[in-house]
Amino acid sequence: MTQSKTTKRSLMASGLTLLVCVAMLIGSTFAWFTDSVVSTGNQIIAGNLQVDLVHVGGGAGGKDVSLADNPSHPVFDYDNWEPGYTVMETLRVENKGSLALQFRLDASTTDAVLGAGGENLADVIDVYVYEGAGDAADTDSFQDMTPANGWRNAGTLSALMADADGLAHGVLLPENAEPKNEEPVGSVQMTVALHMQEGAGNEYQDLSLGDLTFTLKAAQYTYEADGFGDDQYDVNAEYDKTDNGDGTYTDENGQLYVLYEDEYIAVDADAGVAGLFTDAAGNNYVSEGMAVNYVFSNAEEGENIVFIDDVSFSAAGSAPYLTAENATVDLNGRTVWVNLGENKNSFGVTGDGSVVKNGTFRCTGSRADYPLWVTGNIGKNHVTVENVTVEGGMQVTGTVSATLKNVTITANTYYDVYVAQDASVTVESGSFTHTGNMPHFYFFNYGARYNPTVIINGGIFSGGTPTYAVAPEFSDNPYTFTNNLG
The C-alpha atoms of residue 101 and residue 174 are separated, in whole angstroms, by: 8
**At 48, which amino acid appears?**
N
Lowest average pLDDT, out of 24-38, 116-130, 236-250, goes to: 24-38
Confidence of residue 452 (pLDDT cuts 50, 70, 90): very high
The C-alpha atoms of residue 196 and residue 209 are separated, in whole angstroms, by: 12
465 φ/ψ angles, rounded to the nearest 5 degrees:
-135, 135
Do the Cβ atoms of 299 and 326 come closer than 8 Å? Answer: no
pLDDT at residue 464 greater than cutoff 80: yes
- pLDDT value of position 282: 93
In sequence order, which residues have a C-beta less than 8 Å from that of residue 180 and are 6 or more positions away?
223
Do the Cβ atoms of 434 and 467 come closer than 8 Å? Answer: yes
pLDDT at residue 360 greater than cutoff 80: yes
pTM for this predicted structure: 0.61
- pLDDT value of position 233: 46
The C-alpha atoms of residue 486 and residue 482 are separated, in whole angstroms, by: 10
pLDDT at residue 290 greater than cutoff 80: yes
- pLDDT value of position 232: 64
- pLDDT value of position 341: 61
Confidence of residue 37 (pLDDT cuts 50, 70, 90): very low
- pLDDT value of position 215: 79
Q: Which residues pair with 205 in a beta bridge?
A: none
160 φ/ψ angles, rounded to the nearest 5 degrees:
-70, -35
Residues 45-68 have pLDDT tens digits of: 344 567 788 888 888 888 888 888
pLDDT at residue 254 greater than cutoff 70: yes
pLDDT at residue 276 greater than cutoff 90: yes
Confidence of residue 24 (pLDDT cuts 50, 70, 90): very low
Between 137 and 71, the more confident residue is 71
Between 469 and 219, the more confident residue is 469
Mean local confidence (pLDDT), 15-30? 39
- pLDDT value of position 214: 78
Rg (CA), the chain: 35
Lowest average pLDDT, out of 143-152, 161-170, 185-194, 449-458, goes to: 161-170
* Best CA proximity match to 145, nearest among 159, 126, 162, 169: 126
**At 143, which amino acid appears?**
Q
Do the Cβ atoms of 387 and 406 come closer than 8 Å? Answer: yes
Residues 78-108 have pLDDT tens digits of: 677 889 999 888 888 888 877 777 887 878 7
**At 400, which amino acid appears?**
V
pLDDT at residue 15 greater than cutoff 70: no
- pLDDT value of position 340: 65
pLDDT at residue 6 greater than cutoff 80: no
Q: What is the 3-state secondary structure (H, E, C) of the chain?
A: CCCCCCCCCCCCCCHHHHHHHHHHHCCCCCCCCCCCCCCCCCCCCCCCCCEEEEEECCCHHHCCEECCCCCCCCCCCCCCCCCCCEEEEEEEEEECCCCCEEEEEEEEEECCECCCCCCCHHHHEEEEEECCCCCHHHCCCHHHCCHHHCEEEEEEHHHHHHCCCCCEEEEEECCCCCCCCCCCECEEEEEEEEEECCCCCHHHCCCECCEEEEEEEEEECCCCCCCCCCCCCCCCCCCCCEECCCCEEECCCCCEEEEECCEEEEEEECCCCCCEEEECCCCEEECCHHHHHHHHHHCCCCCEEEECCCEEECCCCCCCEECCCCCEEECCCCEEEECCCCCCCCEEECCCCEEEEEEEEEECCCCCCCCEEECCCCCCCEEEEEEEEEECCEEECCCCEEEEECEEEECCCCCCEEEECCCEEEECCEEEECCCCCCCEEEECCCCCCCCEEEECCCEECCCCCCEEECHHHCCCCCEEEECCC
Confidence of residue 453 (pLDDT cuts 50, 70, 90): very high
Mean local confidence (pLDDT), 6-18? 36
Confidence of residue 23 (pLDDT cuts 50, 70, 90): very low
Confidence of residue 13 (pLDDT cuts 50, 70, 90): very low
Mean local confidence (pLDDT), 333-357? 84
- pLDDT value of position 21: 37
**At 456, which amino acid appears?**
I
Do the Cβ atoms of 284 and 258 come closer than 8 Å? Answer: no
Q: Provide the mean pLDDT of the chain.
A: 81
pLDDT at residue 19 greater than cutoff 60: no
Mean local confidence (pLDDT), 232-248? 67
pLDDT at residue 467 greater than cutoff 90: yes
